Amino acid sequence: MKRKIHIIAHNIRSAHNIGSLFRTADGFGVEKIYLTGYSPCPTTPKALYKSKAQKEIEKTALGAQEHVPWEYRENITSLIKSLQEEDFFVVVLEQDKESLPFYDSIFKEQKQIAILIGNEVRGVDTRICKKVDAIAEIPMMGHKNSFNVTISCAIFLGILRYTEAS
């Protein structure tokens, strides 16, 4: 059975990252993206004009923003609670002393999972991390201490979809 996956993009600065996230989500069969905080949003069908950020999202997403359902939510805390009430296992991708390796079996066991990714520089606030079901971390082996936020999400999505197939 195909795992139901949603993505929560919180306080993402870059419209290019949002466009890339839509393209990645489409490729991995993500059911929905929630944009929260100051994350830029794609153009809505009734929009009279496109902002610079919306044009950048379109350029990077290559049309994927038209195929992956998305919604803007102002309050991330109520979104997390709402998803948990719908039996989603909410996991944040973040470096933290409480984090589990991204390949941990707890993630593979979930039928519905919402992946929370955060700001490219500051990550996800610790107060938000305390509200989720788990924290996943992708170990780094090079000199830098983190991957690009969209790349991290893609790595985690790949593991989730791979374990589904095996």
Q: Is the pTM of this model over 0.85?
A: yes
The phi-psi region of residue 77 (left if phi > 0; otherwise alpha if psi is between -120 and 50; otherwise beta) is: alpha
Per-residue pLDDT of the chain (166 residues; tens, 9 = 90+): 589 999 999 999 999 999 999 999 999 999 999 999 999 999 987 778 899 999 999 999 999 999 999 999 999 999 999 999 999 999 999 998 989 999 989 999 999 999 999 999 899 999 999 999 999 999 888 888 888 999 999 999 999 988 876 5
The number of CA neighbours under 13 Å toward the Cβ of 115 is 32
Torsion sign (Cα): 114, 118, 120, 123: negative
What kind of architecture, by CATH, is found in domain 4-165? 3-Layer(aba) Sandwich (3.40)
Quick one: which H or E segment has residue 26? helix 15-27
The phi-psi region of residue 10 (left if phi > 0; otherwise alpha if psi is between -120 and 50; otherwise beta) is: beta
Q: Residue ranges per domain, the chain? A: 4-165
